[in-house]
Homo-oligomer: A and B are copies of this chain.
Amino acid sequence: MKQAVIIVAGGKGERMQSDIPKQFLEVAGKPILMHTIERFLVFDENILIVLVLPVDQIILWDELCKKYSFEVSYKVTTGGATRFESVKNGLKLIEPGCIVGIHDGVRPLVSADTIERCYMVAEKTGNAIPVIEIPESLRQLNVGESMTAERSAFRLVQTPQVFRSEFIIDAYQQEYLPEFTDDATVLESMGHTIQLVEGNPENIKITGPVDLKIAEALLG
């Protein structure tokens, strides 16, 4: 089945104390977003790549592609005011009948195994999202108190979240609801059961300066 990935790169540089949007910051020799894209090309050199970028970043991205001689075939579309809108824009470029992943542009450390597990299970079952065990003790907050929670009953959710395209296109026709915290919850609200597969612990979302140092260490 034809495979596609929507890479959502809507970030600004604020938490990085930088004017450069965080997905364009250089790590291990090139912008983060290029590492992220390459992970999917290693998985499937013919994968359809849809980049969702804020409208005011598209020229900068083109310049970066020239500067780094990044010659990769992709489609690009503009982001909306929210992540929900951005994904919806990306889905307009996706056909029914394929398997589509939705991935954060600032997760360049996703492993080939994680990507493969997600696409394989999604093709069979309709969807798959990567999760990892919680590495620390967990407490639940409760009006001025907290209690220990059984960490083995919880999982941390990563991306790519992968779907049969007709299901997720359909799900994104809904009005936005605050409980849509990720793409899986959008699909879930249509009555689908979400399939969990194993992610990889180093598949962090780069949001601050510490994450940047970590990514440099692991990609470098």
- A residues contacting B by CB (< 8 A) are 131, 134-142, 145-146, 148-149, 151, 153-158, 179, 181-182, 184-185, 188, 193-194, 196, 201-202, 204-205, 207-208, 210, 213-214, 216-218
CA distance A202 to B214 in the complex (A): 10
Taken together, the copies of this chain in the complex come to 2
Which B residues are CB-close (under 8 A) to A131?
A: 139
Could you show 16 A-B contacts with beta carbons less than 8 Å apart? A131-B139, A135-B204, A135-B205, A137-B156, A137-B157, A137-B184, A139-B155, A139-B196, A140-B153, A141-B153, A141-B154, A146-B155, A146-B196, A148-B181, A201-B210, A217-B217
Across chains A and B, which 10 residue pairs bring their CB atoms closest together, nearest first?
Answer: A217-B217, A137-B157, A136-B156, A137-B182, A213-B217, A202-B210, A214-B214, A139-B155, A137-B181, A141-B153
Contact assessment for A179 and B139 in the assembled complex, using a CB-CB cutoff below 8 Å: no
Which B residues are CB-close (under 8 A) to A185?
A: 137, 148
Contact assessment for A139 and B154 in the assembled complex, using a CB-CB cutoff below 8 Å: yes
CA distance A213 to B204 in the complex (A): 14
Which B residues are CB-close (under 8 A) to A214?
A: 214, 217-218
Which B residues are CB-close (under 8 A) to A181?
A: 137, 148, 151
Which B residues are CB-close (under 8 A) to A218?
A: 210, 213-214
Which B residues are CB-close (under 8 A) to A142?
A: 153
Which B residues are CB-close (under 8 A) to A148?
A: 179, 181-182, 184-185, 188
CA distance A218 to B135 in the complex (A): 19
Closest B residue, CB atoms, query A129: B139
Which B residues are CB-close (under 8 A) to A155?
A: 138-139, 141, 146
User: Which of A137, A157, A207 counts the most B-chain CB atoms under 10 A from its CB?
Assistant: A137
Closest B residue, CB atoms, query A196: B146
